[in-house]
Every structure is written in C-alpha cells, then in structure tokens.
Amino acid sequence: MKQSLEALENKTDILIIGSGAAGLTLALRSADFARVTVLSKGNLREGATYYAQGGIAAVLDEADSTESHVEDTLTAGVGLCHKDIVEYMVTRSAEAVSWLVDQGVPFTTKTATAQDASTEIAPETELSSLHLTQEGGHSHRRIIHATDATGKAVFETLQKRAEEHPNITLLESCTAVDLVTQMPENGSQPVCVGVYVLNQQSGRVEAIRAKFVALATGGASKAYLYTTNPDGASGDGIAMAWRAGCRVANMEFNQFHPTCLYHPHAKSFLITEALRGEGAKLELPDGSPFMANFDAREELAPRDIVARAIDYEMKRLGCDCVYLNITHQPAEFVKEHFPTIYKRCLEYGIDITRDRIPVVPAAHYTCGGVVINAQGETDITNLYAIGETSFSGLHGANRMASNSLLECFVVAFGAARSIFKKSSSTDFVDSIADWDESRVTDSDDEVLVSHNWDEIRRFMWDFVGIVRNSKRLNRADRRIKLLREEVRDYYIKHKVTNDNLELRNLALVSELIINCALQRKESRGLHFTLDYPDTLPIAEDTILSPVKAP
C-alpha cells in the first residue's frame, strides 16, 4: 500500500531503497515473514526497470542450454565474469521467469498478437509457449519479453502485487541520505541499523530504524551527458554504501548502449537491441552497412564492440549519428513486435516501417558497484545490495544483453532467503540520533548545484567515455577532486534537498569511476584506452576500499 513518511512508524523490519524490479521482488519475496517498506525518491515507476525494452535472458528452449548461456556471458564479459556466479544466475533463470509468470506478468507468447500481449496470461501458462527473441552476444533465442516494453510489464505487475500486500508499504518522494551503522560489542564488522531519509514534501530528514536494509537504487549513468537512464540514476546506493564502508569494484566498466534515438526532442529514448536481433542493420548516412568491418557477428556483436564501431564511424565522418534500418521487414511484423518504438518514433515523424532510425550511443548500464555475494550480502552486516547498484561478478567487463533483469530476480530471491534465516535472531537498535540541522541554512544559490552537475556530466562524457586515454583520465581526476570539495562544502553548509543529495552522490561515484579507470592499464571490454590498447593475459577485478581510498 502507498503511504506517507509521516504516517510510517520510525521502524520497519526491512527497508528497501529503490522501487524497481530488484526492490519490488525482494519486497514480495519477504513480505510473508516481515514488514517491508520500499522507498522511492520520485514516482514509483521512475526507475530503469519501467523503461527497459528488451527482456530477460533465460534458457527455456530445447535447442538452448545453460552451458551455452554461461559461455556466451563469459565471452561477452571478456574474462572478468566470475564463472561460479554466472552459473548460479543462469541455472536459476527458468525459476525466475516461472515466478514472474505466476505473478501475472504478460509476457508475449508464440501465438500472441500485440493486442494479446497487453492482457495477463494465466498462471498455468507453459514456459515453452513464451516467445523468445535474440540479442547481441547471445548464440540462441533466449530473451523472454512483453513485446518491446518488458520492463513496463514487469514493473506494473510487481507494483500491483506490492500494493495489494498488507505487509508492504510503498513511499514516494523519499530520498535516502545516508546509512546508519553501529559497531557491536566484540564485533569486527559494522551492522546497518537504519537510514536517514529526506521527506521531500516536508523538507525534514527522518531516522528510520530497520533490522535489514537493501540498496536497490540502480546505476550511475547520469554521470554522463548522454544516457538512456531516467534522471534518478545518480549512483545513490553505491555512494551511500561507500561512505558507510563497503568496497566497490569495476566501476570503470560503463556500458554505452549502441542505439539511442537521435532527435532533439527525444530525451533518453532507447532503441532496443531486439531490432538487431530481428535483422535490423546499422548503416552510415550514405546507406552503406559497416559492422562487418568490425566484427564477424556484425549487428549481434556485444554492445562494447557495436558502440565503439558507431563512435569510430561518427568521428571518422564527422556525422551526428548513424542509422538503424529494419524497413526490409514487413510493416505488420515491425508494428507487432515493436509497437512502443513504432509509436514513439512516429511522434517524431519517423515511420520505422519505411524510414531509417537515427541512433547514437549513450551511457546505459553500470557494470560495477557495491561488492556482494550471490545472496546480495555486502561488507556490512544486514546491508544488502541488489541489481545495478551491486557488483556480483556476473557482468565482467561487458554486460550481455538482458542479463541485468535476470540478476535482479535471482539475487533478490537469495537476499530474501538470507534475511529469513537471520530474521529471528535480529532486533531493532534502541534508537538512532536525530538529524542535526542546527548549523545549516537554506540555499540562496541553487545555480551552483545545476552548474556543477552539468560540468561533471560533460567532462565525464568527454574524458571518461567510450574511448579513453591517460591524459583525459588525469584531467578528469583533477576536475573531480576540485568539484567534490565544492560539493562537500555546499552540502555541509546548507539544508539537504533532493538535488544536492544527488549531486553529492554523483560526484563521489564519478570519482570512483575515474579511480578505477586510472588503475586499469589495459583495454578490456567496456574500458578501451588508446594508451593501453592490448588486453592483459590475466583478468583481475578493480576493487576499491574506503579505508585505502585517496
């Protein structure tokens, strides 16, 4: 049920920060044995899940195999995936899809039309009846989807289930400020006991006690000027976990989706990889295809290869975009399989059944994050991280398409089991200190926030983007250190707002990205540097620890 922060008691068994697929799944899997509160800093749907088009990677076809899915993931990850984690995720993919079907997610079936796909399918639907598509890096059709709006279908279904559950409270316009930890007597590891939360309606910061806290806040792609992500993707969970003492890993691997709609009025609209899975070709402005010059898999090469190829051709020709062409497919096929994209492009005067789609790469996914195990457990007791916020070892140096939603469900399942085992022996702390605002004032110069936000995103795009070199990275490092001092000074002196909290987090996460990138003296997957173009024979994660941070 939806509720206001004022109406909530100052404690809850499980506090989940983030209302996307990861957070709602954990809530639903835990609500039968605990009281759960889910925080969203905006509207519940304003996370990456709602806008995800592609689907969920799972082995359901007889011609496919878990071994093949594992191998494809390891190949895309360029040696950095943790094989045991990949196997753990992939072998549980069918279970995750089966649970989603039971919840009523209206996945497209082999016989469904676009109209059929908008209605719930019955729980007894056989998994073998689900329609499968193919995306980059996959050697088989194994993407379960709801036409081209899978994230919307998943989110709306899980939100409805959560709103109906008496043990789940959903709070909107609530921004987590910082985690609260304590060091227990005779303990060597801190324990998370709650969170400070900004109520955007009242402007007050409240302390909420919790037995368990889960970070499900998504990634940090808003660190870049051009992104497919919604505005809230400012790395909040990663920043909060780092400040509390958690390690982070592989932050240099920022995935740039190859195909974002290029149009002056189309903000952050993604063109799903599934178009290329159904035969769409990438073309230069003169109509000539070019992916064969870069990879034998052409349009179905992993995303890092496709994004770099587009970036190379745009810079070589000095053009603003390249084009995605699916006009060779029958018009009804295109409309049936991609109704969302067809409708949105038509709003901008582009009929994708007859016209090529102008596309550019854009920051899309944060492959690194808070270090966790398969159950989502972090370095801090009773603190969990799930989904894009986390680093499980699944994605390596380049996430393979549609493995991200799979990770959300599988890790949420594991986290719920872990919390259940601990729940009977875990209690609330007696109290948390009130938030102290006695020495701060209201801001009289909000332009500083917007200016610093814009500057960070621009130099991250220019200096820490698709193609990097040491000179650019060092320049970014100098700028982020100065900006973090400015942001820290501003934060200390003024009352917190959603904007300055996001800027604080964005500046910190940008510094973590830069530090990781400077440490990697090779090119691997999504991290491509002109000064170290070769891939080292031994693949190692880049792990940062707060106690060792500069």
What's 454's domain CATH number?
Answer: 1.20.58.100
* pLDDT band (50, 70, 90) for residue 549: very low
What is the helix, strand, coil percentage profile of the chain, to 5? 40, 20, 45
Q: Is residue 432 within 8 Å of 193, Cβ to Cβ?
A: yes
**b/e string for 229-268 if b means 16 or more Cβ within 10 A?**
bbebbbbbbbbbbbebbbbbbbbbbbbbbbbbbbbeebeb
Q: Is 388 exposed, middle or buried (0-12, 13-18, 19+ CB in 10 A)?
A: buried
Average pLDDT, the chain: 91
For 478-513, give the secondary structure using H, E and C. Answer: HHHHHHHHHHHHHHHHECCCHHHHHHHHHHHHHHHH
Give the model confidence (pLDDT) of 59-102 as tens digits.
998 899 999 999 999 999 999 999 999 999 999 999 999 999 99
Give the model confidence (pLDDT) of 295-306 as tens digits.
999 998 888 889
- In this predicted structure, the answer to whether residue 287 has a pLDDT above a threshold of 70 is yes
Q: Is residue 235 within 8 Å of 248, Cβ to Cβ?
A: no
Measured between alpha carbons, how far is 479 from 507 in angstroms, rounded to an integer?
10
- In this predicted structure, the answer to whether residue 272 has a pLDDT above a threshold of 90 is no
Measured between alpha carbons, how far is 360 from 260 in angstroms, rounded to an integer?
5
- In this predicted structure, the answer to whether residue 121 has a pLDDT above a threshold of 70 is no
Q: Model-level pTM?
A: 0.90
* pLDDT band (50, 70, 90) for residue 124: very low
Domain-ending residue, one of 364, 394, 427:
364
Q: Is residue 211 part of a domain?
A: no
pLDDT on residue 398: 92
Average pLDDT over residues 109-114: 65
Q: Is residue 169 within 8 Å of 8, Cβ to Cβ?
A: yes
Q: The tokens of 221 are what?
A: 């792609």
Give the model confidence (pLDDT) of 434-493 as tens digits.
998 877 887 766 788 889 999 999 999 989 999 999 999 999 999 999 999 999 999 998
Q: Is residue 520 part of a domain?
A: yes
Domain-ending residue, one of 334, 364, 394:
364
| Residue 241: partners with Cβ closer than 8 Å, 6 or more residues away | 179, 215, 248, 370, 378, 380, 383, 385, 389
Q: Is residue 40 part of a domain?
A: no
Q: Is residue 302 part of a domain?
A: yes
DSSP-derived letter for residue 465 is S
* pLDDT band (50, 70, 90) for residue 527: very high
Q: Is residue 26 within 8 Å of 412, Cβ to Cβ?
A: yes
* pLDDT band (50, 70, 90) for residue 411: very high
Give the model confidence (pLDDT) of 500-523 as tens digits.
999 999 999 999 999 999 999 999
Domain count within the chain: 2
Q: Is residue 328 part of a domain?
A: yes
pLDDT on residue 119: 40
Measured between alpha carbons, how far is 517 from 469 in angstroms, rounded to an integer?
10
Measured between alpha carbons, how far is 491 from 504 in angstroms, rounded to an integer?
8
Q: Is residue 326 part of a domain?
A: yes
Range with the lowest mean pLDDT among 42-46, 238-242, 386-390, 420-424? Answer: 42-46
Question: Closest by alpha carbon to 375, among 167, 155, 92, 44?
Answer: 92
Q: Is residue 303 part of a domain?
A: yes
417 included as an active-site residue: no
Q: Is residue 438 part of a domain?
A: no
* pLDDT band (50, 70, 90) for residue 112: low
Catalytic residue among 45, 92, 303, 504: 303
Range with the lowest mean pLDDT among 106-110, 282-286, 453-457? Answer: 106-110
Q: Is 183 exposed, middle or buried (0-12, 13-18, 19+ CB in 10 A)?
A: exposed
Q: Is residue 229 within 8 Å of 504, Cβ to Cβ?
A: no
- In this predicted structure, the answer to whether residue 58 has a pLDDT above a threshold of 80 is yes
Instruction: Give the start-end residues of each E strand in 326-424.
Output: 357-366, 369-371, 383-385, 390-391
The enclosing H or E element of 456 equals helix 447-463
Strands 543-544 and 248-249: antiparallel
DSSP-derived letter for residue 460 is H
Domain-ending residue, one of 331, 364, 397:
364
Q: Is residue 197 within 8 Å of 18, Cβ to Cβ?
A: no
- In this predicted structure, the answer to whether residue 550 has a pLDDT above a threshold of 50 is no
Average pLDDT over residues 10-27: 96
Measured between alpha carbons, how far is 152 from 53 in angstroms, rounded to an integer?
8
| Residue-number span of the structural domain to which 475 is assigned | 447-526
Average pLDDT over residues 159-172: 96
